[in-house]
Structure 1
Amino acid sequence: MKNPFLVVVYTFLVIVVLPVILTIGIYKDDIFQKEIVQTKTTNSINIKVYNTKTDNVEELDIEKYLYNVVASEMPATFDEEALKAQAIAARSYVFHKMENGGDKIPQHKGAVVCTDHRHCQEYLDTNTLEKLHNKKWMSESWPKIKKAVDDTRGMVMTFEEKTIQPLYHSTSGGKTENSEEVFSASLPYLRSVESPYEEESPKFRANMKISKNDFINKFKGVGIVLSDNLNKDIQVMSRSEGGSVKEIRVGNKVVKGSKVRSILGLNSSDFDIKVDGNFLNIMTKGYGHGVGMSQWGANGMAHKGYKYDEILKHYFKGVSIENKY
């Protein structure tokens, strides 16, 4: 290497180029390692769940937890787009609890959520689901539910960059309710909307027939006195935008429609009472509180060709669907 030009080139390669290549290699490797760590930390989230049946707090992968929630909350016979909508609603519910002190609620015993459907979401473990259904259901329907959860992995609904409180119910009876007309808070994404595709729901309409004496005694048990002239003693005072009874006069007291629903064990607060001789016919529409997403309405929309995001954005006004991981 006696050629002066070659000596200069060699020196340049050794002193300048080689260190740069090595540095770039180290930098790229460092980025790669960071990507691996990021994937490991965001690809799976564990949550604490208080199992009310066993009285134990369990740590579960959120997606595996959601398999069982969706399987418990919605029939596997429903359209896959309705199941996806349910999966996102259920995941949003968990994140809303995580972001708003769910672990501080006494009933949760330090967990984010519990398995009591009256307080949180319905959750049945896999063994219970198999006993409730059968092995054929586990081999055919369970994979369908898992796919709906997997296909929406990490997705939640947000409003103004915060995870929403995604209420849902079985059947609205044709129109959902504004949140403040059922619960205390007025939430901008929980507005009354039409729910036109629910006719297949077995609870779309129902009728209860009860004797006068039984009716009077049920109200007597909560301190409300009625006369024999029930036509005069019962009067609906007001209804919500969604059609439910807001206030009703029973005897000499004006009470909420939700209280009458509780006293009589009705499917919903959307009811009409008619006196027929010694009996009363009580006709109800829908099943549940009526706020947020109607599950049967979601299935009806899916049958009409709507996708999961269209279903959710119909029932939850102004929301976005974002990935948490």
Structure 2
Amino acid sequence: MRKCCLSVLALVLVMAFLALGCQPAKKPDVTNRERKYDSEPTISLYDNETGQKKQMKLEEYIAGVVAAEMEPSWPVNALAAQAILARTFTMENIESGRVKKLHGTDVSTSVEESQAYDPSRITENVRQAVQKTRGEVITYNGRYIKAWFSASNGGKTASAAEGLAYFKTPTPYIKANMNDPASIQNTLPEIRQWTATIPGARVREAVKSISGKDPGPLTSAAIAKKGPSGRTVQLKINNTVVGGPAFRLAAGSTEIRSMFLTGVSVQGGNLVLTGKGYGHGVGMSQWGAKNMAEKGISPEDIIRFYFKDIRIEKLYP
């Protein structure tokens, strides 16, 4: 009897072992460092205006992005910092497969889908900047970071949650609520302090598109909540509260230059906002990069000023 029980137990153990052995092995958590290239990769680009697709070397694409995203006459080190961000954004975007699902290509010329791209603006400074940082990307714990930047943070950086209402994944590498005087120094007057007048009808439509509720004709407006850096994270329009970043996008991000508001009022049926800075304020400030570059600070150190606990790695020679 005991011998029979032992035989049955042995059979059960063997079957369990075989069952486990037949299960597919889990994929290893591959990091970017394990994905380095022997040579510069070729990527595919979808032109959103013409519908055409073409192949190009990655560095050629990065030059067109840098030229479109930053003033191409700016110092080489500022453009080089932008190149590191552009390359990182591109690799993270390709890895996610976002554009591949839409167009069957790695990247596109759409700002909403990828990054701005304009090869006609490429200058010698841009070419030097791209070559100077060839293959360089930013990683955190072995993975590409969210390579955010804005024109000017208005003198203080924001977290992804505050500036972009981004909560999808942790972004501990973003230096938030940090004083950045270089971002506001020697900038354009309309960046240091600006005023935007938004028609009441547009405000009404923006609030409706965000909340799903019609707030009615514009009669009142106020800041409902500020974030740690002082940015408006919630805005109250009549009796409806909406997110600051969402409202800026819906009502016009060119006119409403940032949510670093210094004043909110209703005048003549219009929403009048005053503020400082240009953009969401998360990650690198382009004007800050320019001012640091003019002092001889390297592109890598410019990046490290805005991002913490990161590694700048070279993907290919």
Output the TM-score relative to the length of structure 2.
0.76
1:219 equivalent to 2:209? Answer: no
> Shift of the alpha carbon at 1:86?
0.7
1:167 equivalent to 2:152? Answer: no
Instruction: Report what 1:237 is aligned to.
Output: 224
> Shift of the alpha carbon at 1:296?
0.9
Instruction: Report what 2:114 is aligned to.
Output: 120
| Alignment check: 8 A CA contact 1:292 1:316 kept | yes
Aligned pair count reads: 262
Cα distance in 1, alignment partners of residues 264 and 135 from structure 2 = 49
> Shift of the alpha carbon at 1:302?
1.5
Instruction: Report what 2:78 is aligned to.
Output: 82
Match of 1:42, SS state, is: coil
Instruction: Report what 1:19 is aligned to.
Output: none
Q: Pick from 101, 126, 150: which aligns with 2:97?
A: 101
Change (3 A) 1:274 1:90: closer
Change (3 A) 1:277 1:84: closer
Instruction: Report what 1:156 is aligned to.
Output: 137
Cα distance in 2, alignment partners of residues 250 and 167 from structure 1 = 29
Give every structure 1 segment of 4 or more consecutive aligned residues whose post-TM-superposition deviation is greater than 6 Å: none
1:43 equivalent to 2:42? Answer: no
Aligned positions of 1:189-204 closer than 5 A:
189-192=173-176, 193-197=178-182, 198-202=184-188, 203-204=191-192
Cα distance in 2, alignment partners of residues 199 and 172 from structure 1 = 11
Q: Pick from 39, 52, 70: which aligns with 1:56?
A: 52
1:206 equivalent to 2:194? Answer: yes
Change (3 A) 1:81 1:125: closer
Instruction: Report what 1:267 is aligned to.
Output: 257
| Alignment check: 8 A CA contact 1:219 1:225 kept | no
> Shift of the alpha carbon at 1:252?
1.2
| Alignment check: 8 A CA contact 2:81 2:303 kept | yes
Cα distance in 1, alignment partners of residues 117 and 218 from structure 2 = 44
Instruction: Report what 1:304 is aligned to.
Output: 295
| Alignment check: 8 A CA contact 1:175 1:194 kept | yes
| Alignment check: 8 A CA contact 1:176 1:292 kept | yes
RMSD over aligned CA atoms reads 2.2
Instruction: Report what 2:171 is aligned to.
Output: 187
Output the TM-score relative to the length of structure 1.
0.74
Cα distance in 2, alignment partners of residues 95 and 297 from structure 1 = 24
> Shift of the alpha carbon at 1:184?
2.5
How far does the alpha carbon of each residue in 1:67-112 deviate from its partner, in whole angstroms, 9 at most, with x for none? Answer: 1111111112212111110111111111112333245432xx1112
Gaps of 5+ in 1: 1-40, 130-137
> Shift of the alpha carbon at 1:246?
0.7
| Alignment check: 8 A CA contact 1:273 1:280 kept | no
In structure 1, give the amino acid aligned to 2:135.
G
1:143 equivalent to 2:139? Answer: no
Gaps of 5+ in 2: 1-36, 209-213
Q: Which structure has the bigger radius of gyration?
A: 1
Instruction: Report what 1:111 is aligned to.
Output: 105
| Alignment check: 8 A CA contact 1:292 1:315 kept | yes
Change (3 A) 1:120 1:194: farther
Q: Pick from 295, 310, 317: which aligns with 1:319?
A: 310
When structure 1 is superposed on structure 2, of 219-228 and 172-181 the one drifting more is 219-228
> Shift of the alpha carbon at 1:205?
2.1
> Shift of the alpha carbon at 1:158?
0.9
How far does the alpha carbon of each residue in 1:110-164 deviate from its partner, in whole angstroms, 9 at most, with x for none? Answer: 11211112331110133xx3xxxxxxxx7xxx12210110111111111111122
> Shift of the alpha carbon at 1:59?
0.9
| Alignment check: 8 A CA contact 1:190 1:316 kept | yes
> Shift of the alpha carbon at 1:271?
1.6
Cα distance in 1, alignment partners of residues 160 and 218 from structure 2 = 34
Which has a greater percent of helix? 1
Instruction: Report what 1:5 is aligned to.
Output: none
Cα distance in 2, alignment partners of residues 295 and 263 from structure 1 = 24
